[in-house]
A and B are shown apart, each in its own frame.
Chain A
Amino acid sequence: MVQYMTDRLDASFAALSDATRRGVLEQLGRAEASISELAGAFHMTLTGMKKHVGVLEQAGLVTTQKIGRVRTCRLGLRGLEEEAAWIDGRRQIWNARFDALDEVVAALTRKEIADGRQSE
């Protein structure tokens, strides 16, 4: 998890190290926008803006959806929360299972101790 989280944070910080990309996040915080709208707002070529959005998307900070010929971008900050919920769901399953296993091995241990006493 530590390595995985570190990779995620590296990607996030790399994405945030650029002024244009921070501006894009600010813009998307107000309203979703297409790539060409963002390119226009930041006086960039479509190709240049696509690259920036790609970096933000890789970091999970932005999600995009293509409808027809238009790719719409919006904030994707829920990524980390979803991940936490995903892990928590699995932790609950394994924890319940291992609580039950704990009791089985505890019962086996008690039985061994009792058997040991009997044979003394």
Chain B
Amino acid sequence: MGDRASSGRTAVERRSERELVVTRTFDAPVRLVFDAWTRPELFKLWWAPKSSGVPLLSCEMDVRTGGGYRIAFGHDASNAMAFFGKYLEVSPPSRLVWTNDEGDEGAVTTVTFEDQDGKTRLVLQELYPTKEALDASFVGMEDCYPEQFEQLDELLVTLGARV
């Protein structure tokens, strides 16, 4: 828990004009990390960390090839922001591919889970249809992202007690 503030553990690369790749290793078996991505009750504990300042209102996931998902953020239903799409590939416990259909030029997201001596190396790739779509991605989200990582502690203590 000590080096949570160090941000060096998450690598982010723009691998090409249309492609963003995020890499991180988790100290847990692939099976558990995959669960955290595919069970909505776990997924919603971390996808919108408290530091984002925007609560996750709902999370529906039909995790199978061709199934859909819908995630809503916001302070209440009247100003909710929805993200949705469908799973193009679900291969437990090593690979997930889904579309992001809320915008005109959404990315296709591919997540792979690879065992490395009992740990999990996770690679997330977002492939956008155009360079411009990647340039503009996430814009606005940074604005509501204060650097209050300490807030996470509170959430995680609760979480540790609950799970």
State yes or no: do A and B come from one complex. yes
A-side interface size class? 20 to 34
Does A117 sit within 8 A of B, measured CB to CB? no
Q: What distance in Å separates the Cβ of A48 from its nearest Cβ neighbour in chain B? A: 29
Query: Per a CB cutoff under 8 Å, which of A3, A83, A102, A111 touches B15?
Result: A3
A31 interface residue (CB < 8 Å to B): no
Q: Identify which of residues 76-120 in chain A touch chain B, using a CB-to-CB cut-off of 8 Å.
A: 83, 86-87, 89-112
The chain B residues found within 8 Å of chain A, CB to CB, are 1, 4, 7, 9-17, 20, 22, 24, 26-29, 32-33, 35-36, 42, 45-47, 49, 51-52, 120, 122, 124, 135, 138, 141-142, 145, 147, 149, 152, 155-156, 159-160, 162-163
A97→B46 contact, CB < 8 A:
yes
Interface of A is mostly: helix
Cβ contact of B149, chosen from A83, A99, A101, A109, cutoff 8 A: A99
Q: Which residues of A contact B28 (CB under 8 A)?
A: 105-106, 108-109
Secondary structure call for the B interface: mixed
**A residues in contact with B20, CB < 8 Å:** 90
Beyond the given A4-B14, A91-B11, could you list 9 further A-B residue pairs with CB under 8 A, ordered by the A residue number?
Answer: A4-B15, A92-B142, A93-B142, A94-B22, A101-B33, A104-B45, A105-B27, A106-B27, A107-B163
- Tell me if A96 and B152 are in contact (CB < 8 A): yes
A1 to B29, CA, bound (A): 28
